[in-house]
Amino acid sequence: MKRPFVTKEQVENIVKKYPTPFHLYDEEGIRKNAEAVKKAFSWNKGFREYFAVKATPNPYILKILNEYDCGCDCSSYTELMLSKAIGVTGHHIMFSSNDTPKEEFVYADKLGAIINLDDFTHIEFLEDAIGHIPETISCRYNPGGVFKLSNGIMDNPGDSKYGMTKEQLFEAYKILKSKGAKNFGVHAFLASNTVTNEYYPQLAKQLFELIVELRDETGCDIKFVNLSGGVGVPYEPDKKGNDIFEIGEGVHKAFDEILVPAGLGDVAIFTEMGRFMLAPYGCLVTKAIHEKHIYKEYIGVDACAVNLMRPAMYGSYHHITVLGKEDAECTNVYDVTGSLCENNDKFAIDRKLPKIDMGDYLVIHDTGAHGFSMGYNYNGKLKSAELLLKKDGDVQLIRRAETPKDYFATFDCFDDLKIEE
Classify the C-alpha dihedral 229-174-121-210 as positive or negative.
negative
Q: Write the single-letter amino acid at 236.
A: E
Burial of 15 (0-12, 13-18, 19+ CB in 10 A): middle
Burial of 43 (0-12, 13-18, 19+ CB in 10 A): middle
Q: DSSP secondary structure string, 196-229? A: STTHHHHHHHHHHHHHHHHHHHH--EEEEEE--S
**Closest among 81, 236, 75, 78 to 140, alpha carbons compared:** 75
Q: Do residues 59 and 396 lie in contact, with contact meaning Cβ atoms separated by under 8 Å?
A: no
Q: DSSP secondary structure string, 399-421? A: EPPP-HHHHTGGGTT-TT-----
265: left (phi over 0), alpha (psi -120 to 50) or beta: alpha
**Closest among 273, 270, 101 to 184, alpha carbons compared:** 270
Q: What are the angstrom distances between the C-alpha of 155 and each of 10, 116, 193, 203, 216? A: 40, 22, 10, 12, 30
DSSP alpha helix (H) spans, 41-145: 59-66, 77-85, 102-111, 122-130
Residue 367, CA atoms < 13 Å, CB-side half-sphere: 33
Active site (annotated) includes residue 283: no
Q: Do residues 25 and 61 lie in contact, with contact meaning Cβ atoms separated by under 8 Å?
A: yes
Q: Do residues 257 and 34 lie in contact, with contact meaning Cβ atoms separated by under 8 Å?
A: no
Cα 221-224-227 angle, rounded to 5 deg: 140
E strands within 31-159?
48-52, 71-74, 93-96, 114-117, 136-140, 147-149, 152-155
**Would you tell me how many other CB atoms lie within 10 Å of the CB of residue 421?**
7
Which candidate in 72, 220, 283, 341 is catalytic?
A: 341
Catalytic residue set: 341
